[in-house]
Structure 1
C-alpha cells in the first residue's frame, strides 16, 4: 500500500527533529562555561593570580576555589598541579578532566570552571608618549598598542612611532618581543612582514616608544 500523506508528514517531521537536535547539541558544545568572559570576538585566557572555582559533577569533595600560581598552575585535590595559565576556561576544564583521567581518579569527570576574581590586568608604557605610566586593561574586550598609545596622550614630536617595542613574559617564563609600527596603523596600513601591528596587549606587557634620531 502506498504511504499516505499523513505518514509522509510524520517521517519528514521526525527527520527535522533529528537535525534540530544535532544542531542544538553542537551549539551547546561551543557555548562558553558560566562565569567566563568568552564573547564573540574576544576570548578571555586565564592568567597568573586569577582565582577560579572548580566544580566536578557529582564529586562535591573535589570542589575548590584556587588561585593560579606564579608557574601558571592550579593545585587540584587528588590530581595535583595542572597548568591552566594561557588557556580559555573551556580549555582549562578539559585539561583538568584529563588530569583526573590520567591519574585514574575519575573515569568520566565533568569539570566546570568559573572565574571568581581576575588578576590585575595592568600594562605599562614608557618612552616617547605624553603621559607614560601604568594602565588597566579592560577585562571583557581586547586592547591594542595603538589604543594604549592614545590613552597615554599620544606620541611626542620626537617619537619613533614606526618601531614601538612590546616586551612580554609568557606563563612559562619565556621573554618575547614584538615591534609595532604605530604610524602605519594610524595610516590604516601594515608596515611589513615583521610588523606586529595587529598585536593585542596582555597583562604585564611593557610597551616602549623609542626616540627618533634626528
Structure 2
C-alpha cells in the first residue's frame, strides 16, 4: 500500500499558501509619507532680484532689479508696480495689466524670472524654547506647527492656544491672526483646519504669549 503522506502534504500546501498570500501586508508606496512637504508656488518677497522682459519690446527689459522694501519694482513707463506676495504668474499678469491700462501696449507678453532669492525668514518670540529668526523653504508649505517644531516646542508657561501671527498684507496693512496651535499639534477635535494648516509667509512675526496664572 502506497503512503498517502505526499498527497496530504500537497493538499495542506494548497490550503495554506493562498491564506498566507491574502494575509500579507503590501509594502508602503514610496512618496506617501506624512513627512513629505506639499509643493507651493513661489511668491515674490522683498529683496528678490528679478529680470523682467516684454516680448518684442527690448527697451522695456530690466535685469537684476530688486523688489523694494515697500514691495514694489520700478519699471519703464509704468513706474511703481507692487509685486510682493504674488506668484510668478500673478506678477506677469500684474505687469501686463499695468502696460495695458496705461495705454502703452495692447497685449504685452511679460516674463518674470527670479535671478536671486532674498532670505526668507519669520521671527518667533515669546514662550518657545528657541527664539529668533527661522528660515522657511521657498517652494513648500511651511506651517505654524512646522515653525514651533523648529523653535524647539513651547515652554511650560506658553499660552499655546492663542499664538499671534502678525502679517504685512499686499496693500501694506497689518493683519493679526490668533491660532490654537496646541490643539492642532495634539490632534484634538477642537482644532480647526485653518489652525492646523496655517501657512507662514516671509516676514511674518509670531508671538507666543505666557499663560495667565
TM over 0.5: yes
User: How do residues 29-178 of structure 1 correspond to structure 2 at under 5 angstroms?
Assistant: 41-65=39-63, 66-178=65-177
Q: Distance in 2 between matches of 1:177 and 1:94?
A: 29
Work out whether 1:179 is the aligned partner of 2:178: yes
Unaligned runs of 5+ residues in structure 1 are: 1-39
Q: Deviations over 1:119-159 (max 9, x none)?
A: 22111111111111111111121111111111111111121
Q: Deviations over 1:91-124 (max 9, x none)?
A: 1111111121222222221111111112221111
Contact persistence 1:127–1:208 (CA under 8 A): yes
Q: Distance in 2 between matches of 1:47 and 1:195?
A: 23
Unaligned runs of 5+ residues in structure 2 are: 1-37
Q: Distance in 2 between matches of 1:193 and 1:78?
A: 47
How far did residue 201 of structure 1 move? 0.8
Could you say what secondary structure the match of 2:165 adopts? strand
Contact persistence 2:45–2:71 (CA under 8 A): yes
Contact persistence 2:184–2:192 (CA under 8 A): no
Q: Which runs of 4+ in 1 moved over 4 A?
A: 192-195
Give the TM-score normalised by structure 1: 0.75
Q: Distance in 2 between matches of 1:133 and 1:69?
A: 24
Could you say what secondary structure the match of 2:161 adopts? helix
